Chains A and B, each alone.
Chain A
Amino acid sequence: MSVNRRDGASAPVVTGVGVVSPNGIGVEAYWKAVLAGSSGIGEISRFDTDGYASGIGGEIKGFDPAEHLPSRLVPQTDRMTRLALVAAEQTLADADLDPRSLPDFAVGVVTAASAGGMEFGQREMEALWSKGGAYVSSYQAFAWFYPVNTGQISIRHGMRGASSAVVTEQAGGLDAVAKAGRHIDQGTPHMLAGGVDSALCPWGWLCMSRSGRLSTVADPDRAYLPFDTDASGHVPGEGGALLVLEDPEAAERRGARKRYGAVVGHASTFDPRPGSGREPGLRRAIEAALDQARVGAGDIDVVFADASGVPDLDRQEAEALAAVFGPRGVPVTAPKSMTGRLLAGGASLDLATALLALRDEVVPPTVNVTSPAYGDLIDLVLDQPRECSLTYALVVARGYGGFNSVMVVRR
């Protein structure tokens, strides 16, 4: 478990956000869709899912890389990197941050990944086995490598400060932001952080299916029903969010215009060995994140849930939330019910959504859930956005393999 105490004044501030999501590209398009309850989940169209148990996902439709990226970058990038580069450009523009105008090592980048560029990798492996090594792209050398998004963003924008990549499945979307916060503590004043991910190709689909957590329900409106009595697993999606985090004084000095909020607390824990009978690590992560933020459970105004959609995991989360906040003690929401779970990008998108919720003081809805299974434990915000006074939000992310990560943000 990692817990660093920080005092409120020095907490990193978020000064820019970029979003690529199945229900919207760009922060405001996405946010408008979320508040309208507009889902990006549908039948997978990019490859034939016949023969697979699942065929529903959150695809980003109508994304033409040639429209968004320089031609030199297209042959050398997987889809997740193309999406990440688009998000990075949006984020820096939103923050009005030009790394090339700052000292060489003043800006770093930390991204989260789950597996790397699987679609690119699959294509090149197919070329290798069907035609031979001469047909494999030289760009395979890095295009499918898990830290490639960090590298490509860093090169494109001239960000040479402390940089890395984290791989903790869904928890990575928060862990990357937390790591960026530590780089700020250590002296890199400006960071770009978060996750944008995609594995919507046959190889990725097979790997995700093997987790046993994918819903096999064929109706896009019924496939992913977190915290519902009909929960049957989740649907995967693609996309995510990136954020600019800055030392508050450095943000002030350069005249940053926007303040979405401050990252005031974070903790990550690991679950005990399966079958040990010990309590999952989630409650401990929530309590430690509150502790780092120096707030009590009663100060949290909204929780963005991990919302696994797997009944056992939903129950674990509902129980952990009820244990910390009291039964129905805080509004809980899962806007990812409109996007699917975005691998390493999901929790970053939840974090961006939490900051938008704080900005506009409105809790976005959880869609499609009609029969809440844990109504005695959690107050799930259904169907319609809920307007209320919001100061602190808590975001929960759990990664396949036992990762728990929790972040507290303040407006």
Chain B
Amino acid sequence: MASFGIKELVDVLRESAGEDEDINLEGDILDIDFESLGYDSLALFNTIRWVERDLGIALSDEAISVTGTPRALLDEINRAAAQAA
């Protein structure tokens, strides 16, 4: 399976929740928490459900944290994807 990286995550964020006009998602955002990126818990929930569906994985509810970062979420996603493979 092709790895799911920051580009893929940003694509899903944009499509499922939109993006804050004042924030550049193309920049170095890996270690910025989701709340600072303009996403609330529902936006993150919608995004993660989308990723789970597309990759055929299941993440724990703890993965949905607005104080978490894209890097931590991507680690979770790829760990789950490796287990599912």
Contacts and interface: CB of A to CB of B under 8 A. Distances in A.
Given A138-B42, A139-B42, A141-B42, A72 B18 contact: yes
Q: Is the interface of B mostly helix, strand, loop or mixed?
A: helix
Given A134-B49, A138-B49, A72 B42 contact: no
Contact of A75 (B16, B21, B49, B52): B16
A139 B52 contact: no
Contacts of B20: 70-72
A135 interface: yes
Nearest to A74: B18
Contacts of B52: 134
Contacts of B45: 138
Contact of B15 (A72, A75, A135): A75
Contact of B46 (A70, A71, A138): A138
Given A138-B42, A139-B42, A141-B42, A73 B49 contact: no
Given A134-B49, A134-B53, A71 B42 contact: no
Contacts, number: 38
Given A138-B46, A139-B46, A75 B18 contact: yes
A252 B29 CA distance: 47
A49 interface: no
Interface in B21-56: 21, 38, 42-43, 45-46, 49, 52-53
A71 B18 contact: yes
B53 A70 contact: no
A74 B43 CA distance: 12
B14 interface: yes
A137 B46 contact: yes
A137 B45 CA distance: 10
A4 B20 CA distance: 45
Contacts of B14: 71
Contacts of B21: 70-71
B36 to A, nearest CB: 14
A401 B54 CA distance: 45
A19 B43 CA distance: 30
B53 A75 contact: no
B73 interface: no
B18 A73 contact: yes
Given A134-B52, A134-B53, A70 B42 contact: no
B48 to A, nearest CB: 9
B76 interface: no
B53 A72 contact: no
Contacts of B49: 134, 138
Interface in A63-109: 70-76
Q: What are the 8 A-B residue pairs with the smallest beta carbon separation, nearest first?
A: A71-B18, A138-B46, A72-B18, A134-B53, A138-B45, A71-B19, A75-B18, A74-B18
26 contacts: A70-B18, A70-B20, A71-B14, A71-B18, A71-B19, A71-B20, A71-B21, A72-B19, A72-B20, A73-B18, A74-B18, A75-B15, A75-B16, A75-B17, A75-B18, A75-B46, A76-B42, A76-B43, A134-B49, A137-B16, A138-B42, A138-B45, A138-B46, A138-B49, A139-B42, A139-B46
Given A70-B21, A75-B46, A135-B53, 20 more contacts: A70-B18, A71-B20, A71-B21, A72-B19, A72-B20, A72-B38, A73-B18, A74-B18, A75-B16, A75-B18, A76-B18, A76-B42, A76-B43, A134-B52, A134-B53, A137-B46, A138-B46, A138-B49, A139-B42, A141-B42
